Amino acid sequence: MTNWPYNTPGIPDSMFIRGKVPMTKEEIRAVSISKLRILEKDIILDIGAGTGSLSIEASLQAKKGQVYSIERKEEGINLIKENIKKFNVCNIKPIKGIAPIDLENISTVDKAILGGSGGKMREIIIWLSKNLNKNGRIVINTITIENLYKAMKYLKENNFKDIELTQIGVSKGKDLANLTMLKANNPIYIISADKGR
Amino acid sequence: MTNWPYNTPGIPDSMFIRGKVPMTKEEIRAVSISKLRILEKDIILDIGAGTGSLSIEASLQAKKGQVYSIERKEEGINLIKENIKKFNVCNIKPIKGIAPIDLENISTVDKAILGGSGGKMREIIIWLSKNLNKNGRIVINTITIENLYKAMKYLKENNFKDIELTQIGVSKGKDLANLTMLKANNPIYIISADKGR
Amino acid sequence: MTNWPYNTPGIPDSMFIRGKVPMTKEEIRAVSISKLRILEKDIILDIGAGTGSLSIEASLQAKKGQVYSIERKEEGINLIKENIKKFNVCNIKPIKGIAPIDLENISTVDKAILGGSGGKMREIIIWLSKNLNKNGRIVINTITIENLYKAMKYLKENNFKDIELTQIGVSKGKDLANLTMLKANNPIYIISADKGR
Amino acid sequence: MTNWPYNTPGIPDSMFIRGKVPMTKEEIRAVSISKLRILEKDIILDIGAGTGSLSIEASLQAKKGQVYSIERKEEGINLIKENIKKFNVCNIKPIKGIAPIDLENISTVDKAILGGSGGKMREIIIWLSKNLNKNGRIVINTITIENLYKAMKYLKENNFKDIELTQIGVSKGKDLANLTMLKANNPIYIISADKGR
């Protein structure tokens, strides 16, 4: 895969520079980005951006837009910068900080993806209910049943529409003495919603 | 969702004109298209195109390329034409016929997606091993364990590389007396591979 | 399967008299009963017993014990009685009513299985925290994320120990034109716990 | 769980002596044993017995029957013996060897469970088609798609009836900073069938 073209949607996990930071797997990335329904000029917020893998994929769809990647850890910010460089994208801006308190310089956004809430699910959803543009969309990825419960609850309370829950279980083939076993990834909950009008 | 922008990747199932033809669901569509790693000028073959939902999503990525949608049923061909019109895409050509025997006018392609093999898994894979361009990729969707077994076997026999098997189980939230139950879609196997060089 | 021996654990779904009442499927029944770790003389409470399928399987393990099957619907009570007759078990007592308010005549139990909480998850768990014997166990089956969240929360609050969450996704082979497709059942959450000492 | 009663069906994984030998997980064990529909006097064959966990559970149902546990590895045979001792069961006989060639001293059996075929799926199924008693049942556990395909094929070819395929995906709750994430076990295929009459 040496000459795999970097600026194409559908980047395999192995292409990202990752360190030890947990990364959204490629199938979940594909579905999450798909559910954002990104337009070319969208302003996108990636909260808890980690390695920046979702930001990179989003930036390939929002070619004339802008992606803000919020991440609290120095290690993550550095990985995001390295991946920006590797994939040669110019519309991602990494922001070291915690959502929503460090979002003060961002006015409104079209799409938001929440990969890590840092215990601030309620505050983030309230902030987004105010700062998402008309036709704005939110996609939340979570692996815990408590954050799943809270995401559903706070989205309803803050008048988000078309709230959709998707649980995805991915298993990958793995060679086992010339046979193919299935190796399971942990199931992920993807919650998507439209901003209420 | 009346003013949802049609020409954006990530089309929800409900937007397609479907009739009674079975349709690849949106999450599977997103992952399958993602694994094709489509370039803007790609020539793409959609075999067993059904409603054309995969063709439409592929055409949104291959904006300057071409999608050939092979479908054996009249009903399917009509649905593909209706969806082409609805989503206003101009780079899809529906072909009524059976793969690979009715592919005689197509020389080489960059990417192929196989949603229905019509019992011709072996012949189709052999045809693709000859007619896929360098850097070509194939994505096969199947729900049966026999076609899964055969796809893996014939891809290996015909020197495809980086053969990857992904099983995806999707469950969708559904309102049940103000509670949210999970409703399972049937699991799908997605097999992707690179053309050998 | 006409001469299948009724008094053996592992009863297939098709053997139960069901009507239109939803029934716990056989794989979920096997795992749930297994997690109860039933002893021969156990007193068992089956709350929201439905068709009685869990009660019947429990009664085959608690051969010298007693099963109380609480069900609020007349239709369910009748099905439980019919299944008791069909499987010829004599240690199940159906109780028409709502838990926990209609459990007044039951003092203590060894094991409890909760297939339907009827919106009384908290009250039922509190009742069980008082009325389960030492070494008592509880198994809760739920399909909704809200009841999952509540079950976990109330079990913790009421000092249950070894709280274990298991999500099970079962798919069954189905013939499709001489091929075998997988047909998914909806995923089920099984929560089990020991009574705190 | 120190005083957990050993002679009760539903033994948790943590109770078995395991070494590094792979072990069928408790939920799969429960479903597999359930699908065998064991009678009290059944003669049961556990092929590829590993740690003996399936044998132990089977022996608790076939209280007046006999379990033969075939295992090719010395390490496995030793673990089976240790578990027999720990769970204090007296109706399991470990046999060091390979099925079906080392089954020469066993005439007929009522139930067979196949946890590991050692590349002899076809030979084992043929042997069982001859040596299973009337009303005999077989349960095959496999994690590979090739053995799944072969099991289905050979069971059909050898006139087994009511062939049932079940895929089970189990995820277990795991504490993650006071939240509960789901951790996936690898999916397992369980194939069960009746001996043809």
pLDDT tens column, C124-140: 999 999 999 998 999 99
Q: What is the ipTM of this complex?
A: 0.95
B197 within 8 A of B134, measured Cβ to Cβ: yes
* Shortest distance, CA C170 to any CA of chain A (angstroms): 12
Which chain B residues contact residue D149 at CB under 8 A?
A: 145-146, 148-149
Give the best residue of D140, D146, D149 to mutate against chain B (max B CB count within 10 A).
D149
Q: What is the DSSP letter of B14?
A: G
- Residues of chain A below pLDDT 50: 1-3
Half-sphere exposure of B156 (CA within 13 A, CB side): 12
Q: Taking chain B (197 residues) in consecutive chunks of 10 residues, what is each chunk's mean pLDDT? A: 66 93 95 96 97 97 96 96 95 96 92 91 97 95 97 97 98 95 98 89
Give the best residue of A167, A172, A176 to mutate against chain B (max B CB count within 10 A).
A167
Helices D26-36 and C26-36: angle between axes, nearest 10 degrees: 120
- Asked, for residue D130, whether it belongs to a domain, the answer is yes
pLDDT, position C6: 60
d(CA C110, CA D105): 44
* Mean pLDDT, chain C, whole residue set: 94
d(CA B148, CA A119): 42
pLDDT, position D196: 74
- Asked, for residue B71, whether it belongs to a domain, the answer is yes
CATH code of the domain in which C49 resides: 3.40.50.150
- Asked, for residue A126, whether it belongs to a domain, the answer is yes
* Shortest distance, CA C187 to any CA of chain B (angstroms): 7
Which chain D residues contact residue C30 at CB under 8 A?
A: 30-31, 33-35
pLDDT, position D5: 63
pLDDT, position B23: 93
User: In chain C, whose CA is at the least distance from the CA of A147?
Assistant: C149
pLDDT at C85 over 70: yes
Under the banding of pLDDT at 50, 70 and 90, the label for residue D8 is: confident
Helices A53-61 and A26-36: angle between axes, nearest 10 degrees: 40
pLDDT average, residue stretch D23-36: 97
What pTM, to 2 d.p., does this model score? 0.96
Under the banding of pLDDT at 50, 70 and 90, the label for residue C1 is: very low
Under the banding of pLDDT at 50, 70 and 90, the label for residue D2 is: very low
- Residue C84, judged by CB atoms within 10 A of its CB (0-12, 13-18, 19+), counts as buried
* Mean pLDDT, chain B, whole residue set: 94
d(CA C38, CA A166): 36
Please measure the distance between the N-terminal and C-terminal CA atoms of chain D and give it in whole angstroms.
45
- Asked, for residue A8, whether it belongs to a domain, the answer is no
* Shortest distance, CA B196 to any CA of chain A (angstroms): 12
pLDDT, position A7: 73
Give partners of B (≥3 CB pairs < 8 A): A, C, D
Which chain A residues contact residue B10 at CB under 8 A?
A: 33-38
Which of C114, C188, C67 lies closest to B184, judged by CA? C188
**Among the partner residues B8, B27, B162, nearest to A166 by beta-carbon distance:** B27
Q: What is the DSSP letter of A10?
A: -
- Asked, for residue C4, whether it belongs to a domain, the answer is no
* Mean pLDDT, chain D, whole residue set: 94
User: Does the beta carbon of C141 lie under 8 angstroms from any beta carbon of chain B?
Assistant: no
Q: Do D186 and A183 make contact, defined as CB atoms within 8 angstroms?
A: yes
**Among the partner residues A26, A152, A182, nearest to B167 by beta-carbon distance:** A182
Work out how many domains chain D is built from and give that number: 1
- Asked, for residue C121, whether it belongs to a domain, the answer is yes
- Asked, for residue C97, whether it belongs to a domain, the answer is yes
Residues with Cβ within 8 Å of residue D81, at least 6 apart in sequence = D94
Peptide linkage before B100 cis (omega within 30 of 0): yes
pLDDT average, residue stretch D72-79: 96
The full 3-state SS of A22-82, as one line of letters, equals CCCCHHHHHHHHHHHCCCCCCEEEEECCCCCHHHHHHHHHCCCCEEEEEECCHHHHHHHHH
* Shortest distance, CA B117 to any CA of chain D (angstroms): 18
Across A100-185, the runs of DSSP E, i.e. the strands, are: 109-114, 132-142, 161-176, 179-184
Under the banding of pLDDT at 50, 70 and 90, the label for residue C116 is: confident
pLDDT, position A21: 86
| Domain region containing D97 | 13-194
pLDDT at D68 over 90: yes
Residues with Cβ within 8 Å of residue C157, at least 6 apart in sequence = none
- Asked, for residue D6, whether it belongs to a domain, the answer is no
Phi, psi of A12, deg, nearest 5: -70, 150
pLDDT average, residue stretch D21-26: 93
Which of B35, B37, B48 lies closest to B143, judged by CA? B48
Strand pairing class (D92-96; D132-142): unpaired
CA distances, B89 to each of A160, B63, B86, C106, D142 (Å): 31, 9, 8, 68, 45
Under the banding of pLDDT at 50, 70 and 90, the label for residue D1 is: very low
d(CA C174, CA C183): 7
Half-sphere exposure of B21 (CA within 13 A, CB side): 25
Q: Do C152 and D182 make contact, defined as CB atoms within 8 angstroms?
A: no
pLDDT, position B66: 98
**Among the partner residues A145, A165, A187, nearest to C149 by beta-carbon distance:** A145
Q: Do A187 and D182 make contact, defined as CB atoms within 8 angstroms?
A: yes
